[in-house]
Structure 1
């Protein structure tokens, strides 16, 4: 029963769409979300305090040459992997390089937990095998990759609540956590919300309750699951709008719950460009050659009728 749930078949097109999205985000992450990692190359090696895995392997101390090679190699290979070619070779390579990129990023005093599910997605995608965007056949290997990513998404929420209660106790829910966050990086909307008595306390209680109950997304009927996932996204939308924390890689990993094969952006783009009357409408087929009209034939005499 458990193995059947873990390997529930999904359309290969869904795996292909999820894979393209994940690898494109790797490229975007390098140049938009975490370009500051390249600055670590100029920091003294004495400030490098590697994470446990960095000490266990061990991984080298970042240098300008190492970080530069890592950046350009990862950028090129991620874009190549997004095409779906050589899914295993390129997939494993991108995972290892991005894993090292995250070790460099998180070994200077701050660790972001929004990367966990995304790293799991990178680790399991190479096992899904080949998949094309137009392929409607179902695959158990692809279903397993998406299911494991979904479990990692839920674990991010549940373990975050566990950490809050473990280190902050019940006082976390009645303290000034959100108030401090608003003071540091709050928006105008957050300033308005903060003026409502006890609303921040209620929000903190709601956050812990939401995170503890997040595993129920697997228990609700499939027709309601999309609504639950939409609530997950709305939670992060409010987070961005109030304290400007995006959780972008986590949001990408959470698309593993969605029917991405229905989006078909390339097909929609072609349809938009080829609409009748559009500037880029496809050339019309040449008109059929005109056939010369036959010359007038002599009138046919009516046949005699039989009396």
Structure 2
């Protein structure tokens, strides 16, 4: 197999692309393939035929229904090569467009990180090629820090306000440092990873019910769970409803609390010594759920055709 891995790094990619695209695409291309970055200008696309010459398989990452047009042009330039992709946001409302684009592009397979979305695509399109592949984590960015964990809790992504307010009150009453995303302050991935590596707790929630217009009711395992554990922090928050966490990660690595924060103070005050469980979970994530490991799994799947099997969580 001669694999061409398409990158959208020249196409003004979406804001969180740096912890999604390069950590997967670069190691995948290093496994006997090559990385191709199509230019944004249509006048340059005819030259893609020379760039894609000899490729027998093409892979890319797309945000939703289809990749950017320059990646489509590069894929077409590969002629009859096999095609596969990873879709980042397979929400219920987007599944019809995702399935149509996958059929038109002859994707075999399309890797889907939400098990709910993958199962629904298979149900609706049994002749399609849709396979569940969980997100990975950039373990170069999210890693345990060398110094003291001087941040009590860190909430990196979208916040659920009742739980956020409860945590804010808890930390203010005890003089603890609580870091969270603030309006107008945009940290780099490296700065976010550094904060996570200094945090004792890393707050996680799945996309919640009030965001149903976007999620369609899906409650997947998102990257935040992996990022916190890869950074060596203990998770605190809410389990996804999909069951993916239980399939992949140890339950003793997360302090579960009510989504409205009613029991937060009681649960935090009673949280027993958990350093061993957190360290085991961190090592498991860094070994089995990095983007580099996903690259190995994808490459093996494309070469052998065998389905990818994820290891169970450590006991």
What TM-score do you get using the length of structure 1 for normalisation? Answer: 0.25
What TM-score do you get using the length of structure 2 for normalisation? Answer: 0.25
| Larger strand proportion of the pair | 2
| Larger helix proportion of the pair | 1
Larger radius of gyration: 1
The answer to which structure, 1 or 2, has the higher relative contact order (CA under 8 A, 6+ apart) is: 1
